[in-house]
Amino acid sequence: MPAPARLGLTGGIGSGKSTVAGLLAGLGALVVDTDAISRGLSAAGGAAIPALRETFGDAFIDVTGALDRASMRELAFRDPGAKRRLEQLLHPLIGQETVRQAALAAEGQMIVFDVPLLVESGRWRALVDAILVVDCSPAAQVERVVRRSGLPPAEVERIIAQQASREQRLAAADAVIHNDGLSIAQLGTEVEALWAGWHGG
Ligand code: ADP
């Protein structure tokens, strides 16, 4: 496969997707992190805050003026309509900022769109030239996320169950990095090998 100009990068929570994004950035790619964009929009002073307050009420905005993520996550889990309204509100804003950041790429620089729910959202397939999936076992996902965030394992399992399955993600992949039983250094070697393959090395 030649180097994709626009690469979609995805993986389940804790798969190591952000780590791979960082490694690709180190090799010269421009990474557009849609999760960071989404967080920025709903942080204090973020562009989505007025609409979030209007739609969900003051109870979902904390004292700092940021979205109260825990309350919103709870609401979205138990109320599909609220989840839909949240997505309808955020998606156009995320889209605009994604386009703005991608336009900053230099001539010939690979753009990596880091999209946690790329497979779930469906609309990304047409926007990228190839999809790279970071794959690992659910057990490794739980272990990493518990270690990173301190969330209880049952909560992590609940998040995993809401995401696409490992099989669904692999079915959408043009390239796969299996991040199981590897050290971070070995993961780096895998990413370098993929990069070298794309660039004829
Ligand atoms: P994601 O973005 O998919 O949620 P991250 O890249 O943030 O995942 O990785 C989750 C956690 O696991 C991070 O703390 C990261 O440093 C760690 N991690 C990822 N891959 C490995 C690995 N191969 N060996 C050890 N730790 C890893």
Identify the pLDDT of residue 77. 87
Q: How many angstroms separate the alpha carbon of residue 97 from the centre of ligand 1?
A: 26
CATH entry 3.30.565.10 includes domain 1-29+110-201: no
Q: Whose CA is nearest to atom 9 of ligand 1?
A: 16
The counts of H helices and E strands in the chain are 10, 5
Statement: residue 196 has pLDDT above 90 = yes
Q: How does residue 200 score in pLDDT terms, banded at 50, 70 and 90?
A: confident
Q: Whose CA is nearest to atom 11 of ligand 1?
A: 144
Statement: residue 123 has pLDDT above 90 = no
* Tens digit of each residue's pLDDT (9 = 90 or more) over 13-56: 999 999 999 999 999 999 999 999 999 999 999 999 999 999 99
Statement: residue 159 has pLDDT above 80 = yes
Q: Whose CA is nearest to atom 5 of ligand 1?
A: 16
Ligand 1, atom nearest to 21 Cα: 6
Statement: residue 174 has pLDDT above 90 = yes
What does the pLDDT average to over 159-183? Answer: 96
pLDDT cut 90: percent of the chain above it: 94
Statement: residue 7 has pLDDT above 70 = yes
Identify the pLDDT of residue 178. 97
Residue in 10, 19, 20 to alter for ligand 1 test, most ligand atoms within 8 A of Cβ: 19
| Cβ contacts of 173-176, under 8 Å, gap ≥ 24 | 173/131, 173/132, 173/133, 173/135, 174/1, 174/4, 174/130, 174/131, 174/132, 175/1, 175/130, 175/131, 175/132, 175/133, 176/132, 176/133, 176/134, 176/135
Ligand 1, atom nearest to 179 Cα: 23
**DSSP annotation string for 150-190:** ---HHHHHHHHHHSPPHHHHHHT-SEEEE-SS--HHHHHHH
Statement: residue 5 has pLDDT above 80 = yes
Which residues are bridge partners to 78 per DSSP?
A: none
Statement: residue 1 has pLDDT above 90 = no
Ligand 1, atom nearest to 180 Cα: 23
d(CA 38, CA 47): 10
Binding-site residues, ligand 1, Cβ < 6 A: 11, 13-19, 144, 148, 179, 182-184, 187
pTM for the full predicted model: 0.92
Identify the pLDDT of residue 201. 67
d(CA 35, CA 48): 14
Residue 99 tokens read as 């386009």
What does the pLDDT average to over 179-188? Answer: 96
Across the chain, mean pLDDT equals 95
